[in-house]
Structure formats: C-alpha cells, structure tokens
Amino acid sequence: MQQPAILARGHWPAERVHTRWHEEHYDPPATKAQAADAAIAALRDRGSPSHDGLSARLVAHSERGEDLVLELQPVRWALRLVDGDASHSMAALAVTRSADGRWLAGRRAPWLSSWAGRWALGAGGAVDVGESPAHTLVRELDEEWSVRPERLTVEALVRLPHQLVMVVGLAWLPEGAEITMDEEHDAYAWWPADVADWPAEADEPLRRMASLLAAHSR
C-alpha cells in the first residue's frame, strides 16, 4: 500500500507560513470533472452535504530560511472526492492537545462526505480561497470545537496516497479550556498524553501521526 509522502517537515509558527495565491483557476481534465460531478451526485443520493464550491490546490512549495512558502490556486472543491486523485487539493488538520498533553479525538458523523464514522485528531477542513492554511487551522478549531489555541505551529506538509495535500498543525489549548462539540461529530474523547495508552479505536495512522508530532512537541 502506498504511504503518505512528507513534502516538508518543520516547526513553523503561523506567522512563518506565507501564501501566494495564483489568479488562474485549476482546469481539470474532462474525465476528472465528470468524476467530480458523479461524486457530488453520490453524496446527494445518500443525504450528505453536496454543495460544491472553490477551495485551494497546491501548485508549489518551498522552504526559505525559517519560512514555509505555499503557492496555491483556486480549485473546484469536489475534485478532492475523485477516487484515487484529488488533484493536489489542499486541506488543513489542527491536531489538538490540552495543556496537560492529552489529545482531542472526535468521531466524525456518519453523514459527512469524507472519513465518515472514523476517529480523527482535532479539527480539519478545506482551505478557503484567499486564506492562509495557518488561518484555516485556527478557523476549523473554532468552528468544530468552539475553542482557540494558546499556541499553534505548522508541523508538516503531507501528500496522501490519493493526492490530497494536508497542512498538519499542532494546536495547544490554554489551561482550563472548554470545548463544545459541533454536529460534524457524534462523540469525542481526550486520549492520554502517552500514545501507548490510547484506546483500541485509535487506528495505526493516528498513532503514527501523533508519535511524530510528539517528538517535536513543547
């Protein structure tokens, strides 16, 4: 099985992540556009959110001194649903920890368009047109859990096997922070600081990601 590819690995504060947006929209091959149409129709048929729109696509990236520079362009959101090839569409994942080191895990609701019914770490979603992915991390955390981080870093740029590019951030919550679960989750838990003590529902990709992030924490 093909493994995710780490395109860039760092420990960048949000202000060290710079975004350059291209004006031209990504024009997919006709077969990809048709596949996106079919994916949206399939979501509609099963009662999942089926609105389409624009998001971000990674054109290029570079590391310049202490900065991460991302070149993005608008792309049709539904292209991320094409089986096996998301056209380098971009999403952001804010892996979230409490002040004492526990990990926020949420089970995604069964009606969602992606990763339905699976446990995930923190909050994540598409990057809006014109938005910095570093801001996406903060926005998604607020939208999904009604909380803001005390500290936030961008830790990695990862390309998944189906060509979705993830900006992975690490968010630390302030002492005493309280979360409120949104409708995109049907359960949540605070998993122990030590990944070895996680429950059975924590799958291997989540454990591997957390272990890599823990090595660079604090």
Q: How many CA atoms lie within 13 A of 141 on its CB side?
A: 29
| Alpha-carbon dihedral angle through residues 9, 14, 101, 157, given to the nearest 10 degrees | -30
Strands 103-108 and 185-191: antiparallel
Contacts within 8 Å (CB) and 24+ apart, 38-43: 39/78, 39/81, 39/82, 39/83, 40/78, 40/81, 43/81, 43/113
Q: What is the pLDDT along the chain (218 residues), one digit of tens a residue?
A: 567 899 999 889 999 999 999 999 999 999 999 999 999 998 888 777 667 899 999 999 999 999 999 999 999 999 999 999 999 999 999 999 999 999 999 999 888 777 788 999 999 999 999 999 999 999 999 999 999 999 999 999 999 999 999 999 999 999 999 999 999 899 999 999 999 999 999 999 899 989 988 876 55
Please count the residues of the chain: 218
pTM of the model: 0.92
- The CATH number of the domain covering residues in 5-214: 3.90.79.10
Q: Where in the chain are the domains?
A: 5-214
**Amino acid (1-letter code) at residue 30:** A
Closest CA to 119 of 17, 191, 29: 191
